[in-house]
Amino acid sequence: MDKSYDAVMSRKNEIMKKAMGLDYSDFQINDMAFDYEKMMTKAGLPIDEIRKIQLSNKVGNTPLFELKNITRLVRKTSEKGKGARIFLKDEAANASGSFKARRASVSAYMAKKHGYKGIVAATSGNYGAAVASQAAIYNLGCIILQEVFDSRFKGQPEIIEKTRKCEAYGAEVIQLSVGPELFYCLLDVLEDTGYFNASLYTPFGIAGVETLGYELSMQCKDITGKFPENVVITHAGGGNLTGTARGIKKAGGNSKVIGASVDLHGLHMASDNDFNKKSFTTGHTGFGIPFATWPDRVDVPKNAARPLRYMEKYLTVSQVEVFFTTELLSQVEGMERGPAGNTSLAAAIALSRELPEDEIIVVQETEYTSAGKHPSAQLTFAKENGIDVKVGDPRDNVPGKNIIIPENISQLGYKEIPIDKLRKTYLKNIKKNYGYIDTKTKENVDFLTAELNINADRLAQLIQEVF
């Protein structure tokens, strides 16, 4: 069989269909529009059944804690009557130490159910460890592909830590340098092994995260007597936000869904030069903005993670504010957790200062920590890559050039990216990829209004503003 890049890529649809048992043409309405809800129901499992699957495999029912000490500090630096209560959903309690165990649990279940001998995932994040953990529980083979190195064969300590964790669960890890070969290698491995594609972006994976939104809503109501007014979610590829938001709705909640990312503007994630200039491997704008404005840039024909359908507000924080928040959580609340969840916690602290005391903010996840994830390792690596690290005003932070750590909690803030700006970029990408935007047919209007969470009049107005 021809294993050249072009030949393997030309077999993409055939390989993917065999590796998941999903025929995405079943959901396609026309070139542009597809039936998203039909695709999501193809996961074939109601949320109660998914919860049972997860609980029987060391996933879910994680605790919700009120961060009373941090809330108290926020109120000391807020106007009188301001300082919303902050709660934290501790997803580090899952078997692999992150919320991604929820996604992996459903994929592993489906792989076992349909007779696959193993599972494959392409990820440099916590998802690899989650897939490896669930594969071990289900006695499945497991291969994880990671982008680890730049051309100097230097890897970030956080990614190398995740390699260690995957191998600890018995997975084979294939380490790659940054570049376009990741997707090619994934297809090649799937074709050679016949394993299940445990993609981050399938309906199975997103359905697994719905239990997280459901749980935090019900737990908050049990503790406080009401659903949270605000849920802050670290946003990267969009699956975390999409699944959580869908779960909140299934619980009957009406929380405002707020995305949060680390601001890494000016750094290109696929650049060999920029790859190690960032101090975060996920939860940053290098993923958050591209995936929000064009979700279908992944290893499946249609991405089930579609954040603009649910995100009502998008906040960015600096790397340094996340480092500060990581230390704050440890030293004030006695919880040492990794940077992914602390991205949304940093945003929640700044947001809490603006909201009434009787409102509730739930920070939707934590992740496990370790030597490679700790700020000291990341800051040391930054210095080795020529980044200037010092204490001062975090507003002077320039991604890839310096890291300026705040001195106190009052310096934590956020920048807001207008959702309409993201919607306009999405419309530009529609035209770029399909050559047109046809809003004369009801199917297209229905699809785009659902995609962008707006009505038909607002859609027409945005299209006129863009074009």
| DSSP-assigned states of every residue in 205-241 | HHHHHHHHHHHHHHHHHHHHSS--SEEEEE-SSSHHH
Instruction: With cut-offs at 50, 70 and 90, classify the pLDDT of residue 114.
Output: very high
Over residues 210-225, mean pLDDT: 98
Average pLDDT across the chain, whole number = 94
Residue tagged 């949270």 (tokens): 228
Res 395 pLDDT > 90 = no
Q: Is 313 helix (H, G, I), strand (E, B) or coil?
A: strand
Instruction: With cut-offs at 50, 70 and 90, classify the pLDDT of residue 308.
Output: very high
Q: Tell me, what's the pLDDT at 124?
A: 87
Q: Of 317, 361, 370, which is closest to residue 159 (Cα–Cα)? A: 370
Res 48 pLDDT > 80 = yes
**Weakest mean pLDDT among 39-48, 127-136, 220-229, 331-340:** 39-48
Q: Tell me, what's the pLDDT at 276?
A: 80
The domain spans of the chain are 5-52+98-201, 56-96+204-416, 429-466
Residue tagged 């992740």 (tokens): 367
Tens digit of pLDDT for each residue in 145-189? 999 988 888 888 888 999 999 999 999 999 998 877 888 999 999
Over residues 437-449, mean pLDDT: 93
Over residues 4-19, mean pLDDT: 91
Percent of the chain clearing pLDDT 90 (strictly above): 78
Instruction: With cut-offs at 50, 70 and 90, classify the pLDDT of residue 333.
Output: very high
User: What is the CATH code for 56-96+204-416?
Assistant: 3.40.50.1100
Q: Of 240, 325, 439, which is closest to residue 231 (Cα–Cα)? A: 240
Res 305 pLDDT > 80 = yes
The distance from CA 231 to its chain's CA centroid, rounded to whole angstroms, is: 14
- Per the structure block, which two tokens stand in for 130? 């989650």
User: What is the CATH code for 5-52+98-201?
Assistant: 3.40.50.1100
* φ and ψ of 401, to 5 deg: -120, -45
* Beta-sheet pairing, 85-89 with 360-363: parallel
Over residues 421-436, mean pLDDT: 93
Q: Tell me, what's the pLDDT at 289?
A: 96
Tens digit of pLDDT for each residue in 373-388? 888 888 998 899 899 9
